[in-house]
Amino acid sequence: MKVLVIGLGGVTNGGKTTLAEELKKMLPNCDIISQDDFFKPESEVETDERGFKLYDVLDALYMDEMVKSIRNWMKSPTSSGVVTQEPQNTCDNLKDTEDVYILIVEGFLLYNYEPLNELWNRRYFLTLPYEECKRRRSTRVYQPADTPGYFDGHVWPMYLKYKNELEENASNIVYLDGTKSQEELLSCVYSDIIQELKKLREGNQRVTA
């Protein structure tokens, strides 16, 4: 049994969750872990001098718990509740992948936490220009709700900070343009993951030969 751990990170409102859910429908033995499920309760999230709740930083998340959840899945993907239904478009590309289990981890802050970085087989990062990101963010309802000035005062500066860190320290990241259509993004990432599955399969065949 082989596992493939895919990171789907990037900007807020970049389309990460939608893309992850569409990929799950198309890939065999695929499960999703969402970083949003590891936010600390509001009472434990720091507030700065402007009254902004600092949600867009690593300290706002139970990152150790997240790593533990991913490692537990990797040890035993079949007991994780993953649905091993047939993908929607079974094709020759997916033959001989019954013993491969795929985990998609989606979130806005995946690649700036070192214990996570040793787990990825493939990493994607969705980007958006400032205006488009702000427009999309304004259409979403958050709990707690964004306060006036929150996007410009906290969300966007933290995105730029962590993205710059990423570009300085990380390699092998595939950057995706979040302004492209969902179909285009899905096609691009799906094709790439299929190539990873082929590599796994060929590796298996060499080992058993």
Catalytic residues: 36
Nearest 5 degrees, angle CA 173-CA 154-CA 54? 95
SS3 (DSSP) at 133: helix
Are 88 and 25 spatial neighbours (Cβ–Cβ below 8 Å)? yes
Nearest 5 degrees, angle CA 156-CA 158-CA 159? 65
Q: Tokens 């309802």 sit at which residue?
A: 141
CA–centroid distance for 204 within its chain: 26
The structure tokens listed for 119 are: 């787990």
Smallest CA-to-CA distance from 155 within 182, 179, 136, 174 is with: 136
Are 104 and 156 spatial neighbours (Cβ–Cβ below 8 Å)? no
Smallest CA-to-CA distance from 35 within 85, 104, 107 is with: 107
Are 11 and 178 spatial neighbours (Cβ–Cβ below 8 Å)? yes
